[in-house]
Chain A
Amino acid sequence: MINKSNPKISSNNLIRTLQRIQEKHGFLPKDSLIKLSRDTRSPLSKIFGVATFYHQFRLEPPGKVTIYVCMGTACHLRGNAENYEFLRRFLDIRPGRSTSSDGLFSLEKARCFGCCSLAPVVKVGDTLVGKATPRELQRVISRVREAILRKEVARGGGGDRT
């Protein structure tokens, strides 16, 4: 029997389980949640409730690279609201969506990264861009986009040869 009051089992707690699923797939696929509900005998509504409560979880597949725009105070005062609007236009993200029309980039608002002294901060993939301006973001994103496309072309090219 599992001792409910032992925090060591927090490795089996719902939030950790969902985190593991998201690590594997990049998002929480519906089928995985249904399976989880069956395996753990907890109602799907409860799992859905937890999955939608926390910012970290997403129910749709993300773009290849996720861009997080910090919405902390310092970043707001130093112009990240403008950066966010710029990125929506630059990445061509339709209203109500969070992924660019080419499926390469997801744009997310993030809470403070704790790098307020470098404000405004935008995170492109794993790279933190400090003192971000539209011009700098344009440069970084174009570089990332080229890298992705190059990789895809290389993969496509490899396919041709075989």
Chain B
Amino acid sequence: MMRQEYWTLMDPCCDYCLHSSDNPCARYVTCRMRGPFCHKSVECREKRQQRVKEVLYGSQGVRINIGASSCGLAAGAERVLEAAKDSLRSIGVEAEVSAVGCLGLCFMEPFIEIRSEDGPSPIYGHVSPENIGDILAKYFEEGSVEGAFAIRRRTGRFKDEDKVPTLDELDVWRKQVKWVSRNCGVINPESIEEYIVTGGYEGLSRALTMKPEEVIEEIRLAGLRGRGGAGFPTWLKWKICREQPSDEKYVICNADEGDPGAFMNRLLAESDPHRVLEGLIIAGYAIGASQGVIFVRAEKPLMAARLEKAVEDARQWGLLGENILGSGFSFDVSVMRSAGAFVCGEETAMIAAIEGGRAMPRQRPPYPASRGLWDKPTVVNNVETLAHVATIMAHGWREFAKYGTERSKGTKMFCVTGSVKRTGAFEVPIGTTIRTLVYDIAGGPREGRKIKAVQIGGPSGGCLPERLFDLPIDYESLQEAGAIMGSGGLVVIDDTNCMVDVARYFTSFTLAESCGKCIPCRVGTKALYDRLSAIVEGMGSQEDLQLLEEIGLMMKEAALCALGGTAPNPILSSLRYFRDEYEAHILEKKCPAKVCSKLVSYVINRELCVKCGLCAKSCPAGAITKTADGFFTVDESKCIKCGTCVITCPRGAVEKR
């Protein structure tokens, strides 16, 4: 691999430093920031501190951060980055332009932040190649932060600082606790040096000075539970695996984030990949593994690429490989890209995929902790869990256990999407209420809408109605209410969404993703889907509701893995809380939210119609005809309810009734 041409903090400060991956120094990591330890040199110390400043604020004292993870790139961050460089050139300002990860404020992508040591560090949202020139000119030429979404601090030295809120004054920020996501949107994820500057790999350094049992004890005291969904205590999984007699053990990072509506793992691994890797190395040390595998979802290639880069860089500096930091512990990691199957998120299915076969779960026990990958003891931990591990080891269990509830400690990232003003990924203490998350942080319903439910936990989770929004989000409370925390996806559903349609959607998902091995899931999902389809098409009966419940309960009992066992949750929970919507479809043959196309009729509003005739031209069934007075009308008997006319009409005159 090519070395960079300039000196970085990772390099030796002078000839005294002998650290390399072949000749590791136990104090390498802490020495970067606080050293040098092995010799006294004011020059070396200053050289390091100078470099830290450069990394944080660029060599010119100003650094422009642009959020460039998948969501930022989808919103056009790449073009913004180029435009920023051009604008700086044209106003004659020298500043570093750097791609960083995601702040979690997805509603205002792409964003930029102008960072300097003593400046207000304004953050701007919805930046485009067209407006970035103005933003930069205003900041650098006029000394004004006008138009910023927020600033990090008031300095009194910039104009209009009082017109812009600080981040801590905003609900969306104030009510969050940035624990595991502290670096997201702040550092360049492709630079190991930036991770080190923010205290990276100090957790690993500390762990390696402890006995593996002490590391497990630290995680037990912290009270960390798996963040992938089930909430199993992480330390216990490790302890069981550690106690297995075996010549070889494995640790797998589950980065196969497949729940639609959940992207906290992608965000973490794309924005701060070293934190995940560090957690994985610590896990390997704790259980006594020598090999780690990161299994990444096919649809998230940038996540895989950034993790691969992190692995390479860590290896180069002796943080991975033989005799890590002189501790005698050797560990290596390979990144594997999935070929795409939702069921891979199940740990035994993931192991089958890593072995190269069809990803079909198997009966547990034996659990992977005793017999996993290639029949060896294996721990499978989720991305967020591992990132927590690294953070806990760096800051101590007490800091972590400050947050959360009695039984569920710490923070959790939640992705709030759907019908809210501010979509994004937010980190809050466990036990925060749904209402705080949906209304205070995510800003409540979109203009003119009314929120009626949230769907928590993806296809395995359930729908909770608005009246239960004061429920604290923790593993037990949600389970009692018929949902699960899952990986932490919250999809907000408003009055324009039909609960039956939502239930059918999730069932279509699990139907397609069922691996087909066990009958309760393979046949059950199909039976559920067929009944729901009948209901949304107006052919359902009251008996169908009973059948849905019976099949659902049977699957919960009998399915082989969690995919089948939780697949009925969306249906069972919506039947529990929104039975009236099901009944409206069955008894009145009406869809209250006007979503189920077979149960709505299309009508052309004459007040809006401009007689252009595009609807008639586009109608595939020839159901729209011209009337004598030049207007158009839909013939109910011919209409196939495809909705093309609604899409085609330039005036929005075709209405659903």
Contact = CB atoms under 8 A, between A and B. Distances in A.
Interface of A: 4-8, 10-11, 13-16, 18-19, 46, 49-50, 53-57, 71-78, 82, 85-86, 89, 110-119, 121, 128, 130, 134
A84 B376 CA distance: 44
A59 B342 CA distance: 20
Interface string B230-270: 00000000000000000010100000011111110011000
B328 interface: no
B339 A54 contact: yes
Nearest to A75: B260
22 contacts: A8-B332, A18-B339, A55-B298, A56-B339, A73-B458, A74-B261, A74-B491, A77-B418, A82-B643, A89-B620, A111-B258, A111-B260, A112-B259, A112-B262, A113-B74, A114-B263, A114-B300, A117-B71, A117-B106, A117-B417, A117-B424, A130-B74
A6 to B, nearest CB: 8
Given A50-B358, A82-B643, A115-B74, 17 more contacts: A10-B354, A11-B334, A14-B356, A16-B356, A53-B358, A55-B341, A56-B298, A71-B509, A74-B418, A77-B419, A82-B647, A111-B260, A114-B267, A115-B106, A116-B491, A117-B106, A128-B70
B643 A116 contact: no
B353 A15 contact: yes
Contacts of A117: 71, 106-107, 109, 417, 423-424
4 tightest Cβ-Cβ pairs between the two chains A and B: A72-B260, A117-B106, A54-B339, A114-B263
A53 B263 contact: no
B560 interface: no
Contacts of A89: 620, 644
A6 B374 CA distance: 9
Contacts of B314: none
A95 B598 CA distance: 20
B365 interface: no
A7 B260 contact: no
Nearest to A109: B512
Contacts of A56: 298, 338-340
Contacts of B73: 128
Contacts of A119: 417-418
A55 B340 contact: yes
Nearest to A52: B358
A6 B250 CA distance: 10
Contacts, number: 160
A38 B261 CA distance: 42
Interface residues of B, number: 65
B142 interface: no
Contacts of A49: 358
Nearest to B298: A56
A128 B74 CA distance: 5
Contacts of A130: 74-75
Interface string B187-219: 000000000000000000000000000000000
Contacts of B31: none
B337 interface: yes
B648 to A, nearest CB: 8
A57 to B, nearest CB: 6
B359 interface: yes
